[in-house]
Amino acid sequence: MEQFRLPKIPMPDLTLPNAVQNVLSEADERLAHRPKLRQLFRNCFPNTLETTTKRMPDSTTFVITGDIPAMWLRDSVEQVIQYVPLAKEDAELQRIIEGLIKRHMAMILIDPYANAFNETANDWHWNTTDETDMGPWVWERKFELDSICFSFRLAYTYWNETKHTAIFDTDFKRAMRATIDLWKTEQRHFEQSPYRFNRDNGIPVDSMRNKGLGMPVNYTGMIWSGFRPSDDACDFHYSIPSNMFAVVTLRQMREIAEWVFRDMAMVKELRELEQEVEHGIQLYGIVRHPEFGPIYAYETDGYGNHCLMDDAGTPGLMSIPYIGYTSNDDPIYLNTRRFALSKENPFYYEGKKAKGIGSPHTPPGYIWHMALSMQGLTAVSDEEKLAMIELLEATDADTGFMHEGFHSDDPTVFTRKWFAWSNSLFSQLVYRAMKDGLLDEK
């Protein structure tokens, strides 16, 4: 079917907030002995603000992914999350981030099943023939459990950093209510859900099997998801990392319900839902691997079938500590990490120039820069963190930016020249290493 192709939407120039300029000045000084890394950081750290961020007349913020003129809930959060620790003393950053939180809540209320939205109600869509309940604000309506988790991750992190509570308005609480109701419904997808999705474009992973319902699942207490963070359809519709993210989100929402809204009935409801999902993860989400011992599966259907793999997207198995579910020295996580970084993972590749995790979303042999950044962010040892930074530095194809996937034999062969999320994740890794003194001249 014909895909609706749009012209690029130019984003207006946005003056970099002072706090961001200060970080760049700090990097100029501390990375002076590594000129290529310094320039990469200079390009990537402000990239979201310089190229993808737009302040709207209604005081909200719209953030495109880069080369696609739509706002993904997931991507837009990860594009700005590295700025949140800087927002405490910077009013402009506060306006940008609070505006994005406000827009997220509005979009959740418009359609909690959608993963990506338009700047206006212009009825633009990724594919004009999707069989699902589309609306004019919705760019794409693939239900991905993790999407809303990211929205609340941003709000919770911002609240903890700044102590500002203006974001917690009536719409915010209504969005919390909509999320609880959605997740309860999707605990029993086949019995209760109105959601269907079918896309007749000849790409199997772009559509839901079984007439748009997805493959059968057993009740587990976990929350059903139609698609992965890669926007590819799940094989088995209980995504373990996404349900882990939901557990973390439910805990965060519970804090907000208790300390901001003082709604103890909602606190109780959130706690019960969290416990149901957590029980499902522990009961159905752990598999004993013959080489690595007990590991977390990537997906399960609750009938005893499991998908053993990891994908470069977040949340994935590698990013379990990053999303806050457990620590990076947790024994089952460490087993899972060893599995993910081995050839037992069907999307782990080793080539002449690099080794790391890719995705079924890109061709075989392609490693994702985001996977290398996440490997560094979740590493236990400083040596592994530094090794990932060096590998990222060596595989930018001299473009000065990160990409989506690149060929493990030849980094000059890559996908997506303009992918702001990848730039931001790389920036997080470098900034943390810089603050920890790992990149200082010896």
Query: How far is Cα 330 from Cα 338, in angstroms, rounded to an integer?
Result: 12
CA 276 to the chain's CA centroid: 23
Average pLDDT over residues 373-382: 97
DSSP labels, 334-377: HHHHHHHTSTTSTTEEE-SS-EEE--TTS-TTEEEHHHHHHHHH
CB distance 362 to 404 below 8 Å: yes
Vertex 436, ends 335 and 327: CA angle to 5°?
25
Contacts of 202 (CB under 8 A, 6+ apart): none
Which pLDDT belongs to residue 67? 86
Residue 5: predicted pLDDT:
34
Q: What pLDDT, on the 0 to 100 scale, is given for residue 155? A: 98
Residue 93 has pLDDT above 80, yes or no: yes
Task: Give percent of the chain above pLDDT 90.
Answer: 92
User: What CA–CA distance (Å, rounded) separates 109 from 182?
Assistant: 11
pLDDT at residue number 6? 33
pLDDT at 290: 97
| Burial category of 149 from C-beta neighbours within 10 Å (exposed 0-12, middle 13-18, buried 19 and up) | buried
Helix or strand holding residue 288 (H, E): strand 286-289
Query: Given a cut of 50, is residue 41 above it in pLDDT?
Result: yes
Give the chain's domains with CATH numbers.
18-435 (1.50.10.10)
Residue 7 predicted with pLDDT over 60: no
Instruction: Supply the mean pLDDT for the chain.
Output: 95
Q: For residue 178, is pLDDT > 90?
A: yes
Confidence tier at 202 by pLDDT (50, 70, 90): confident
Rounded to an integer, what distance in angstroms lies between the CA atom of residue 390 and that of residue 401? 14
Give whole-number Cα distances, 276 to 90, 149, 186, 286, 320, in Å. 40, 17, 13, 16, 19
Give residue-wise pLDDT tens across range 122-152.
Answer: 999 999 889 999 999 999 999 999 999 999 9
Mean pLDDT of the region 233-250: 98
pLDDT exceeds cutoff 50 at 9: no
Scan for tokens 């994908």, then name that residue.
Answer: 311
- Residue 27 sits at φ, ψ, to 5 deg, of -65, -40
Distance CA 151, CA 179 (A): 11
pLDDT at 1 over 70: no
Q: What is the pLDDT of residues 15-31, one digit of tens each?
A: 899 999 999 999 999 99
Q: Examine the pLDDT at 324 and tell me if it is beyond 70.
A: yes
pLDDT at residue number 13: 52
The Cα 389–Cα 38 span in angstroms is: 12
Task: Output the pTM of the full model.
Answer: 0.95
Count of CB atoms situated within 10 Å of the CB of 124: 17
Instruction: Report the residue count for the chain.
Output: 442
- Asked if the peptide bond before residue 46 counts as cis, ω within 30 degrees of 0, the response is no
In tens, the pLDDT along 383-438 reads 999 999 999 999 999 999 999 999 999 999 999 888 999 999 999 999 999 999 99
